[in-house]
């Protein structure tokens, strides 16, 4: 067997074979990898544990009342009449009002910060919006109760007077055109609670939208401007289509937060167990405020019913947040961004 001089110089033929590259993490990389896995797994375990606990504790109530637990509106444990139909509609009524107000605010704020604000002002605005998310919910509740509610009552009267032909804007037992109008009919409504909740969820939606808008490829924006588009035209044809997934995802994440808001809603709403969608009328209740108000004085059976209601809210919120995460991950955001 003859070998070339090059192989003779290197020695064995195996010495020139490509070396196998190992992807196994070592040292600090291995520590970080296992730490990240442990943290991620712990989040899943905690979330799953919360759901299992609520489901296990609420199972006796679901077994006793069956489907009527979802169709009964009254919450009368002494009369053995317990259901979440009324509080479920109130939960969605407050959340929808909050999102109707929060969505345009979050979208326009995110667009202004990412596309219009001067660079020196941009950081200040980002910090101010993020700071809104750190304000305790009880502060928003007090703000809504003492400051917003009187003005919301006047706005509710105007809405009923001009749009009362729409069912959601009707207020039973009130005459908006009377010389002395009954202001108490417009207090503690879903509108008042929704305004307070909208200020709580707006920073979350704005942060997601702003982050997505900032990842718009600069080349596409510059190409639109080079073709003669105005700044708004560039935003409408490039930024908004690129960030569509982030807009939907941020809105749904904020919706999940609005569905579960507790303290601010409990301070503002006047409790009423009734299936109604009249957002201007006094008297609503949500699942979270029901649990907060009745938890301290609940017996063992009532506690199981409250935990069953909490399990329903947990499932609804989990579905909304999961859909939001899927939409954000499947969006075009970040794809093709110039380096």
127 compared with 321, residue with greater pLDDT: 127
Of the candidates 208, 253, 220, 202, which has an alpha carbon nearest to the alpha carbon of residue 114? Answer: 208
Q: What is the pLDDT of residue 81?
A: 87
Residue range 229-236: mean pLDDT, rounded: 90
Find residue 111's DSSP bridge partners: none
Confidence of residue 201 (pLDDT cuts 50, 70, 90): very high
Given a contact cutoff of 8 angstroms between Cβ atoms, the answer to whether 152 and 195 are in contact is yes
Length of the chain: 339
- Between CA 99 and CA 254 the distance in angstroms is 8
43-65: average pLDDT: 90
What is the residue extent of each domain of the chain?
Answer: 87-289+321-330
DSSP 23-55: ----THHHHHHHHHHHHHHHHHHHHHHHHHHHH
Q: What is the mean pLDDT of residues 108-135?
A: 90
Architecture per CATH, domain 87-289+321-330, reads as Orthogonal Bundle (1.10)
Q: Please report which confidence band the pLDDT of residue 334 belongs to, taking 50, 70 and 90 as the band edges.
A: very low
Distances (CA, A) of 248 to 128, 190, 234, 323: 23, 24, 20, 10
**What is the band of 67 on the pLDDT scale with cuts at 50, 70, 90?**
confident
Kindly tell me if the per-residue pLDDT of 93 is higher than 60: yes
Q: Which residues contact 298 (CB under 8 A, 6 or more apart)?
A: 305, 306
pLDDT at 310 over 50: yes
pLDDT band with cut points at 50, 70 and 90 for residue 53:
very high
Q: Who's near 115: CB < 8 A, 6+ residues apart?
A: 213, 231, 235, 239
Which stretches within the chain are classed as H helix?
Answer: 5-10, 28-65, 68-71, 85-111, 119-132, 137-143, 149-163, 190-213, 218-226, 231-234, 240-242, 244-259, 263-268, 287-294, 300-330
Is the pLDDT at 338 greater than 70? The verdict is no
Average pLDDT of the chain? Answer: 85
pLDDT average, residue stretch 123-149: 90
Kindly report the pTM of this predicted structure. 0.83
DSSP annotation string for 125-167: HHHHHHHHTTS-HHHHHHHIIIIIHHHHHHHHHHHHHHHTTSG
In this prediction, residue 336 has a pLDDT band, given cuts at 50, 70 and 90, of very low
Of 207, 245, 188, the C-alpha closest to 102 is: 207
The whole-angstrom separation of Cα 200 and Cα 148 is 14
What pLDDT shows up at residue 5?
56
> Bigger pLDDT: 250 or 326?
250
Over residues 312-316, the mean pLDDT reads 92
Neighbour count for residue 263 (Cβ, 10 Å): 17
pLDDT band at 170 (very low <50, low <70, confident <90, very high): confident
């Amino acid at each position: 067997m003859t070998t070339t001089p090059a192989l003779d110089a290197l020695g064995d033929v195996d010495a020139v074979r490509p070396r196998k590259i190992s992807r196994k993490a070592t040292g600090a990389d291995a520590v970080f990898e296992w730490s990240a896995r442990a943290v991620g797994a712990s989040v899943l375990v905690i979330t799953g544990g919360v759901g299992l606990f609520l489901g296990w504790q609420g199972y006796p109530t679901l077994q006793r009342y069956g489907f009527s637990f979802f169709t009964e509106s009254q919450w009368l444990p002494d009369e053995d009449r317990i259901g979440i139909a009324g509080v479920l509609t109130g939960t969605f009524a407050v959340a929808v009002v909050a999102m109707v107000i929060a969505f345009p605010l979050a979208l326009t704020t995110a667009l202004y910060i990412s596309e219009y604000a001067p660079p020196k002002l941009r950081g200040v605005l980002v910090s101010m919006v993020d700071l809104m998310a750190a304000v305790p919910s009880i502060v928003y509740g007090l703000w809504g109760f003492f400051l917003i509610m009187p003005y919301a009552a006047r706005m509710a009267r105007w809405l009923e007077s001009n749009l009362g032909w729409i069912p959601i804007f009707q207020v039973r037992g009130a005459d908006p055109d009377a010389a002395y109008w009954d202001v108490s009919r417009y207090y503690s409504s879903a509108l008042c609670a929704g305004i307070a909740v909208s200020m709580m969820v707006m920073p979350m939606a704005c942060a997601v939208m702003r982050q997505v808008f900032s990842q718009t490829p600069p080349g596409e924006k510059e190409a639109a401007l080079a073709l003669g588009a105005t700044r708004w035209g560039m935003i409408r044809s490039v930024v908004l289509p690129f960030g569509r997934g982030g807009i939907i995802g941020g809105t749904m994440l904020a919706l999940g937060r609005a569905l579960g808001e507790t303290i601010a809603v409990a301070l503002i709403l006047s409790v009423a167990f009734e299936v109604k969608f009249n957002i201007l009328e006094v008297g609503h209740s949500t699942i979270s405020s029901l649990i907060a108000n009745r938890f301290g004085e609940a017996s063992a059976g009532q506690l199981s019913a409250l935990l069953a209601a909490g399990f329903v809210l947990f499932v609804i919120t989990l579905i909304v947040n999961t859909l939001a995460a899927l939409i954000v991950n499947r969006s075009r955001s970040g794809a093709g961004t110039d380096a």
